[in-house]
Amino acid sequence: MNYTLHQLQIFQKIVELRSITKASEELNLTQPAVSIQLKNFQDQFPIPLTEVTGRQLYVTDFGQEIAKAADKILKEVYAINYKTKSFQGKLSGRLKIASASTGKYVMPYFLSSFISENPEVELAINVTNKSKVVSSLEKNEVDFALVSVMPKKLKLNSVTLMPNSLYLLGSRDFNISKRTKKRDLFEKMPLIYREQGSATRMAMESFIARRRYSVQKKIELMSNEAVKQAVLAGLGFSIMPLIGIKNELKNNDLQIIPVKGLPMHTNWYLVWLKSKKLSPVALAYLEYIKEHKEELIAKSFSWVKDYDDV
């Protein structure tokens, strides 16, 4: 057999994402290039690795076994590369982080300088909702996770990164008079929710339950960005984290609507399993965060204080 490491990487990504298109996007390759490499890899085995039914790609049982073997091979290759670089006095390795979706507005600012100072470090970030972040922690698939609500069922260590505040947002075109009842905003106007499993949705539902509002019109969207665009378009209102709407507030495209009980304040936490043996890269990053987080906050998030009294 003459399969290459490149083919193993491509096949592993296809298995992970169950899609040639998604694999090509993540690997920064064209779809035809990925398809050709998959075919060349398949040609070396007498048993099918994948099957296509309709437009859906499925990985066979044999393909799953080959994917597991590919994963082991690639990890050994990475280990050889990291050991070589460590003997050269360079910090190297893979840093794997899972982030709640709104955390995409936070996490890059706590990584940029560290990665710039340590160019041999490989970074992998999975941005998803809270329930999937917790799952990746449970399965020990990541070094750290960024969350705004601490998972209760896991034994975790944590570092508090920065505050997270949630406000009621509406489009700039919505006129709110002094006569407008805030209850009516929740009970008579469309409310835009994140999907089930989102920490932002849970916070929103908790606020509504405490105020005993009876929501009649509900729209559900799958990402914070989608919710923001819907609010901008005037489809409805939503309770959203301040951290993701800096430009929209600056340009007066969105307005914060004062409501008793809001904003809600939580924190962003960097968490990891207490039982996890952190790699040298993960330990170095942890020390970096502890030492530099205040200056990183001052540099990139000082604008948040402008809305403390809203």
pLDDT tens digits along 34-51: 999 999 999 999 999 999
What is the mean pLDDT of the segment spanning 129-149?
A: 92
Which residues neighbour 13 within 8 Å (Cβ) at sequence distance 6 or greater?
23, 26, 27
At residue 154 the predicted structure's pLDDT band, cuts being 50, 70 and 90, is very high
Which residues neighbour 251 within 8 Å (Cβ) at sequence distance 6 or greater?
none
- Host H or E run for residue 261: none
Q: Is pLDDT above 70 for 57?
A: yes
Strand partners, 181: none
Q: What is the pTM of this model?
A: 0.73
Q: What are the chain's domains?
A: 5-85 (1.10.10.10), 91-162+267-307 (3.40.190.10), 163-265 (3.40.190.10)
What is the mean pLDDT of the segment spanning 266-272?
A: 96
d(CA 296, CA 251): 24
